[in-house]
Every structure is written in structure tokens, then in C-alpha cells.
Structure 1
Amino acid sequence: MPEKLPVYRIPDFTAARGMAQGFHVVDLQTHQQKHAFIEAPHKHDFFLLLHVWQGSGTHTIDFTAYEVKPHSLFFLTPGQVHAWNLSPDTQGTLLFFSPAFFSNGQESEALRQFPFFRSWQHAPVLYADAQTLAPAAQTFQSIQNEYKAALPLQADALRAYLHLLLIQISRLYPSQQHRSGTSTWPHQLYQLEKLVEQHYRQHQPIAFYANALHLSPKYLNELCKENLGKTTTDLLQERLILEAKRLLTHSPHLNIAQVALALGFEDNSYFSRFFKKHTGATPEQFRQKG
């Protein structure tokens, strides 16, 4: 992808010990002081949790600005673009971990059981109060204490604390956001999300995704509408628009025709019409505003 947006890895922020484990936890202010480059928009190849207990500002994730305020939690999945503008008194905790660390090297989709990592369904932020967040805040502190200590089986302890933390946070979501354990929708939609990520530039028809999931196009469409309130076509088009916005904003070295080609549009005029239909602005207008 002809994109100049930086993609950071956990080793970019931590020393060899954290590097080997795929895990890092740090105070927000310490992180900002050591890594000033994070103020600019960027991506990660890992999962990120941010717990803010003091301060204010904005946290922009894929072109949506979210308010930063005390007792807020932010969640990022690999590949999302984010940047923040925080008041000087903002304090919090950042936690990074790789999928391999969480699954201990085994193939697993267990992370998608947590609602805050289903980016198609939920906003990447949760607002609460001090009392509600107290159990999770205590686990954050336990994780920091464990991370600073050189003790036997440290990776196993951190992994256990991490799993507990994710469970505690998931319980803060309204009960209606949790589906029955017998439902298969999270797995199927997660598989669809991965397929869309791999193939959205190829403009594959709905039947391509349905066949890959061993579903009929009609049933796949019903599954999306029931659980996401969107059709399968909506999801495919939204993914193209998101990437178009990323390229137009963060790859100024590409002209509009090159952006269109990078997204699988051979006809630049058709790309411009498609973009304006979904955003209300032409690619040129969107780039100028950005």
C-alpha cells in the first residue's frame, strides 16, 4: 500500500524484555515524554488499551474525535489510525499487547469475544465513573506492579491479569450488547471482517464473501443487518471509504488518480463519484479540508 503513515510495533516503545513478550504497560505521561512522535497520526500492529483517570482533550480514531475525560477507556485494534490532543494534566495508563501474547502462540479468535474489540459494532471508547471502574483500575495497577518485577513465570502472570482485565471491562457494557453463548454471529462476522480486510481493494461481489463463509448471500446480508444494522454492501463500501480517507489525508504524495488506483478503481471519475456519494465531498474537497 503506497502509504506514508507510520505503523509502530511494541519494540518501538520498549526494551528487549517487553519485546520478547509482546507486552508493554506504561504511564501515559511517561510514554508521551519519551515518544513525542506519537502526537501525529499513526497505526499499530498490536492491541491497545488506554485508561484515563484525569485530564481532558480529544482522541481521534479513524476520523472520529472522541472526548477524553476522567474514567474513560479507549480500545484500539491493529491497523486503526489514531492521534490525540491531551491537556497537560492528563494522566492514565497505556497497555499494549500482541495477539500472539494473548493466545500464547496458539491460533485463537478469543479476543473477538470482547465487545470493545469488535470495531464494526462498537465505538472504541467506554465512559464510566471511578466506582464502576475500580476493579479494572486495580487490575491495571496489578499489571504494572507485575511488569516492573523480575519474577518467575512473569509472562504467564501478565497474561492471566490481562485476561481478567478484559473480562472486567467487558462486564461494564450494557447487558443487551452481550449475545447468548450459543450464538455464532461473532465468529462469522469476525471471519467476514478478516476477509473484507484482505480483499476490499479487489471489489469482490457479496457472493465471494458468502461462499468463503459457507453461507448464502441472502443469509450473510441478514446476519449483517440483524447484528450491525448494515448490509454487507454497506460494510464493503464503508471500508473503501475509510481507506480512501486515510490515503487522502496521510499520503499527500499520491494524486487522486493514484489514490483511486490504490483502492482498485481503474476509473478515476467513478472513484470521485463514489467518494462524493458517501461523504458529500469530492476527494479533492476532502483533502483540502483535511
Structure 2
Amino acid sequence: MPQKLPVYRIPDFTAAKALARGFHIVDLQTHRQKHAFVQAPHKHDFYLLLHVSAGQGTHTIDFTEYPVQADSFYFLTPGQVHAWELSTDTQGTLLFFTPEFYQGAYSTDTLRRFPFFQSWQYAPVLFSSKEALHPVAQLLQQMQQEYAQVKAFQQEALRAHLELLLIQLARLYPVATVQPDAQSWPFQLYQLESLVEQHYLEHQPISFYSEALHLTPKYLNELCKQNLGKTTSDLLQERLILEAKRLLTHSPHLTIAQIAGQLGFEDNSYFSRFFKKQTGTTPEKFRQKA
């Protein structure tokens, strides 16, 4: 029987490290040689940054294929499905970290303020130049050196380096030159994205989300339309469809009825009608083409 889509944790790659539960940084070629299975589609329960300094290929993230080229960055949030096909000479650095490691002294998840982690708005890629990325590459090298040997305040030092790295990358990210005002993306939409991720399988009404954010359903809808060009209902439906596509493509051991059940649909036929209305095709035909 085909295996279900694997979900990897940081200890799956570096259980011997003291920081294995929350942080890992490694040379890309070394990682590929030790863990050949990462080429196949899979998920992580952590954030992933991939810096490519040389080489070429493709990197597919949740059904969107991006070219791999020198002087580029790729950003993944927990739960996204990805796979890559890289040339043998591809070089770079992989950085893994959990939300808990990053947050440290923070009481809330502030990662969503970085544009490359705002999956509703922006693409998870950054194409730049060697000159522009030079400070970032230096910082990654410093992080690797810090990570290589246990020292006093190692977690604090790595967390400080990580914060600076994300800030530098956010400054290079194209949207930063267009929207320098951090307040242009309402904080309520950060919270909404997190709430949808937690509760989309429950099929809660829009009022559930508006009440959690202390907003009226109408105002929440306006925030979504003004900033994303979509209604709140559109966002909820898109998240369900994304998960449906993931399961249909990467979980061949599940029947359509079982997938419908996992997505919170008691009626398989209703799920099929919902899927066809949103995508223009049936779950069966989508699975055949995937």
C-alpha cells in the first residue's frame, strides 16, 4: 500500500544535536547526500529557509513550481508540501527552526510580519544578486560556526542571528520597497491567518473568526477585500481546497470518501460538489492528473 505523505521534524535530520528540537543549519549538498529522501514530496513541522548560491533546477511548493537559480532564497512555513529537482552541482545552505525556538522571549508569534511568510499575499521566493546577498551569506556562515560548537548562551546567540537574518531578507524582499510601512498589512490578518490554520477543518462560520478578532463580520470582510482582493469566505474555501489537493495528490492510500472525512465533510457527495465548484474538476479527475 502506498505510504502517506511524510511530515518531518528537526530531530529526523539531527537527533544528535543539543538544539535538535528547535534549530538546525547545514550545507545543502551534505544534507542531500545524507537524506536522499528529501527529494520526494513531504511536509515539515518547522520553518525552512533555503539559500541557493549555485546550481539550477526546480522547487515545487504547494503545487507552484519555482525555478532554482544562483543567489536565491526559498521560504517554507510549517505544513507546506514541497519537493525539488536540483542539479548535482547545486550548492547552498538549509536553515530549519521551529516557531518555539524563534519566539524565545516573545509572547506571540511575530514571524508573520515578515512578507515571505505571508503566504496569502506573497510568493515564498526571493531572487537577488550575489552582491546584495553577501551580508546574508556572511551571516549564514557565522550561524554555522556558532552552531558547530556548544558555547555559553548558544541558543540566545543563534536566535539573535536568526532575527537579524530575517530582517535583512525582509529588506531585500521586493515588497519592502513598495510597502515600507509595516502597518499597511493589518495585524488582524496575521491573526486571521493563524486562526484559519487552526480551525479550517471545523467549518466554522465567519462570525467565529470575527468574534475571535473582536471585529464585526462586515469589517473583517472589508479588511480581506481591501488587502487581499478576496472575501473572508474565499480564504476559508481556498484553505480547504489546498488541503484537499495535498491529500488527493500525496495520500494515494486514502479514498475520496476518507479524504472528505478528514476535511470535515460528513457527506462525500457534498465534498465532491464543493471541490468541483472551486476548481472546475472533480476530486477523481484531479487525482488522476496529479
State how far apart, in whole Å, the 1-side matches of 2:16 and 2:239 are.
36
- CA drift of 1:20 comes to 5.0
SS in structure 2 at match of 1:254: coil
Among the aligned pairs, what percent are the same residue? 69
SS in structure 2 at match of 1:94: strand
Equivalent residues of 2:260, 2:268 under 8 A apart: yes
Aligned to 1:145: 145
Aligned to 2:126: 126
- CA drift of 1:21 comes to 5.8
Structure 2 residue ranges without an equivalent (≥5): none
State how far apart, in whole Å, the 1-side matches of 2:9 and 2:105 are.
17
1:62-85 Cα shifts (integer Å, max 9, x gaps): 111111111110001111111111
C-alpha change, 1:106 and 1:168, in structure 2 (3 Å) is closer
C-alpha change, 1:22 and 1:190, in structure 2 (3 Å) is same
- CA drift of 1:4 comes to 2.2
Poorly superposed stretches of 4+, deviation over 4 Å: 181-184
State how far apart, in whole Å, the 1-side matches of 2:202 and 2:108 are.
27
Q: 1:1-290 residue pairs with structure 2 within 5 A?
A: 4-20=4-20, 22-104=22-104, 106-173=106-173, 174-175=175-176, 178=179, 180-182=181-183, 185=186, 187-290=187-290
- CA drift of 1:16 comes to 3.2
1:140-188 Cα shifts (integer Å, max 9, x gaps): 1111121123332222211111111100000012335545345671x31
TM-score by length of 1: 0.93
SS in structure 2 at match of 1:13: helix
SS in structure 2 at match of 1:16: coil
Indicate the RMSD between aligned Cα atoms, in angstroms.
1.8
1:203-249 Cα shifts (integer Å, max 9, x gaps): 22211111111101111011111112211111011001001111111
TM-score by length of 2: 0.93
Structure 1 residue ranges without an equivalent (≥5): none
1:39-60 Cα shifts (integer Å, max 9, x gaps): 1111111111000011111111
State how far apart, in whole Å, the 1-side matches of 2:281 and 2:112 are.
34
State how far apart, in whole Å, the 1-side matches of 2:183 and 2:66 are.
33
How many pairs were matched up?
287
C-alpha change, 1:95 and 1:152, in structure 2 (3 Å) is same
C-alpha change, 1:228 and 1:182, in structure 2 (3 Å) is closer
Equivalent residues of 2:24, 2:96 under 8 A apart: yes
State how far apart, in whole Å, the 1-side matches of 2:177 and 2:146 are.
34
SS in structure 2 at match of 1:25: strand
